[in-house]
């Protein structure tokens, strides 16, 4: 079991262990030590460091840089860049690893890191355990110190990569797109991608000040974009989260399309036009209506545990190229190695352009079932599956829904909460069952 690494790297409140400059210094050194053991030849391995726009990124960037250099590793500094962009650049620069300083959709008061392998994929458990083993050792200075340099023309490289994920000649001329960049890592590159493909772009959330990342904007808070779409008369809206690996859409009527609906649109297109398309991986939280819609199209569907790592593991197991979560974290392996909000958006637009129909019409092929999720604060998430009162409440709730619904109690991998999810045909019944079950979990004082 990892001591520090969770399902999506390391994350938490700034100033509290392990999100401190002292820990990041040691972490950079530990990563460098592991990489230095595997180096070939006389040159130092190189690690790329990128970040989102939160103010604490400056502090942690410097700490990681110093630790890596002390371990004998060279550093390539990128600055603000979407998480999937750093995965891509790690591959193209043939770096030994890529590090992203980000807390994704969390507020600016949090921060964390994600690590990518030379292939642009998340690090495996074996490497994370090796890094944690080094963290327990005294910090030393390598005989041959590393060097740092700022990499050039980074934005242009990633923009061209995104545009290259759709066929040559694909364009968005005649479309007006309302764009919400969450005052985060996509604030520079996303507007350019869609403009260079011919769209008229009306952006919001492109003025980061270090404190306003994800603040009442972005893929987790859609009201700002919904309002912007209606006020501007845009054809649709696209929202990213703070580090750019999630995407959500808004149709021209101001209605939100979540990750399940976007996956449905992509899958519908690829099932006809891509010979290597075999099925879709969702998660335990994927809407049952999504599963039913795919079944009507004879598209195979399986559920993974929540988290992009588990989605990708299941995709690899079946050799499938498409998967994702209702949160808007979509992985299109035919185009890239990890979840990428911009590339996923382009896959949706490719399907929309081919159908020559607005999003409001295209989404009608999938009818979402009512779903209610309540986050319950939890101290001991491990006790969730053993508490007799909670187990009895779940059994009673399942009996109430009979065969017309679904219940899931899931400890969050990124927050100290239990997510109580109830799904069924009748919204009022679903809401009542979810509230009763959440109250039982809260009363258990887990």
Predicted confidence band of residue 39 (pLDDT cuts 50, 70, 90): confident
Residues with Cβ within 8 Å of residue 164, at least 6 apart in sequence: none
- Give the separation between CA 289 and CA 286, rounded to whole angstroms: 9
Displacement of CA 146 from its chain's centroid (Å): 31
Please, where in the chain does CATH 3.30.310.50 lie? 371-443
Residue 414, pLDDT above cutoff 70: no
Task: Tell me the residue length of the chain.
Answer: 446
Cβ proximity of 348 and 249 under 8 Å:
yes
Nearest CA to 157 out of 207, 95, 90 is that of: 90
- Tens-place pLDDT, residues 281-306: 999 989 989 998 999 999 999 999 98
HSE (side-chain half, CA atoms, 13 Å) at 199: 26
- Tens-place pLDDT, residues 143-152: 999 999 999 9
Mean pLDDT, residues 209-235 = 98
Residue 446, pLDDT above cutoff 70: no
Domain 257-341 annotated CATH 3.40.120.10: yes
Percentage of the chain exceeding pLDDT 90? 80
Catalytic residues: 104
- Give the separation between CA 418 and CA 411, rounded to whole angstroms: 4
**What was the pLDDT predicted at 406?**
87
Task: Out of 50-64, 343-357, 424-438, pick the least confident.
Answer: 424-438
**Residue 229 in tokens:** 């779409």
- Tens-place pLDDT, residues 372-391: 999 998 867 677 878 888 88
**Residue 412 in tokens:** 């969050």
Fold designation for 10-152: Alpha-D-Glucose-1,6-Bisphosphate; Chain A, domain 3 (3.40.120)
Please, where in the chain does CATH 3.40.120.10 lie? 10-152, 157-252, 257-341
Handedness of CA 381, 382, 388, 391 (dihedral sign): positive
What does each C-alpha distance from 270 to 264, 303, 330, 351, 360 come to in angstroms? 10, 19, 14, 8, 20
Residue 170, pLDDT above cutoff 90: yes
Which runs of E-coded beta strand occur in 16-84? Answer: 46-51, 74-80
Higher pLDDT, 208 or 5: 208
Please, what is the average pLDDT of the chain?
Answer: 94
- Tens-place pLDDT, residues 99-133: 999 999 999 999 999 999 999 998 888 899 999 99
- Tens-place pLDDT, residues 318-350: 999 999 999 999 999 999 999 999 999 999 999
Fold designation for 371-443: TATA-Binding Protein (3.30.310)
Task: Classify domain 157-252 by CATH number.
Answer: 3.40.120.10
């Amino acid at each position: 079991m990892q001591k520090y690494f969770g399902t999506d790297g390391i994350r938490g409140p700034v100033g509290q262990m392990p999100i401190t400059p002292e820990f990041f210094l040691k972490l950079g050194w530990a990563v460098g030590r592991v990489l230095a053991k595997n180096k070939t030849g006389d040159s130092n391995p190189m690690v790329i460091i990128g970040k989102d726009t939160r103010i604490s990124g400056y502090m942690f960037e410097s700490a990681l840089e110093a630790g890596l250099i002390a371990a004998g590793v060279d550093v390539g500094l990128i600055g603000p860049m979407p998480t999937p962009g750093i995965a891509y650049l790690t591959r193209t620069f043939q770096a030994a690893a890529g590090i992203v300083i980000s807390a994704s959709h969390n507020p600016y008061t949090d921060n964390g890191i994600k690590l990518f392998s030379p292939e642009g994929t998340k690090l495996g458990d074996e490497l994370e355990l090796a890094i944690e083993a080094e963290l327990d050792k005294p910090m030393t200075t390598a005989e041959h110190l590393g060097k740092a340099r700022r990499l050039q023309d980074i934005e242009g490289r990633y923009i061209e990569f995104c545009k290259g994920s759709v066929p040559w000649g694909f364009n968005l001329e005649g479309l007006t797109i309302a764009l919400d960049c969450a005052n985060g890592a996509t604030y520079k590159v996303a507007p350019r991608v869609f403009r260079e493909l011919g769209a008229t772009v009306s952006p919001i959330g492109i003025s980061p000040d270090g404190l306003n990342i994800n603040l009442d904007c972005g893929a987790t808070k859609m009201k700002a974009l919904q309002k912007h779409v209606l006020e501007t008369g845009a054809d649709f809206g696209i929202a990213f989260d703070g580090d750019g690996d999630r995407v959500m859409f808004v149709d021209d009527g101001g209605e939100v399309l979540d990750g399940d609906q976007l996956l449905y649109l992509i899958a519908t297109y690829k099932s006809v036009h891509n010979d290597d398309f075999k099925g879709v991986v969702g998660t335990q939280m994927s809407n049952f209506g999504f599963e039913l819609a795919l079944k009507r199209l004879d598209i195979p569907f399986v559920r993974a545990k929540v988290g992009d790592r588990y989605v990708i593991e299941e995709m690899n197991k079946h050799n499938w190229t498409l998967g994702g979560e209702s949160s808007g974290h979509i992985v299109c392996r035919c185009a890239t190695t990890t979840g990428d909000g911009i590339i996923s958006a382009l896959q949706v637009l490719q399907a929309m352009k081919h159908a020559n129909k607005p999003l409001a019409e295209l989404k009608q092929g999938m009818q979402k079932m009512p779903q209610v999720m309540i986050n319950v604060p939890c101290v001991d998430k491990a006790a969730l599956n053993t508490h007799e009162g909670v187990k009895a409440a779940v059994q009673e709730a399942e009996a109430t829904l009979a065969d017309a619904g679904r219940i899931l109690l899931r400890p969050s991998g990124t927050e100290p909460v239990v997510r109580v999810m109830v799904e069924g045909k009748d919204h009022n019944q679903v809401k009542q069952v979810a509230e009763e079950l959440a109250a039982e979990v809260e009363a258990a004082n887990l």
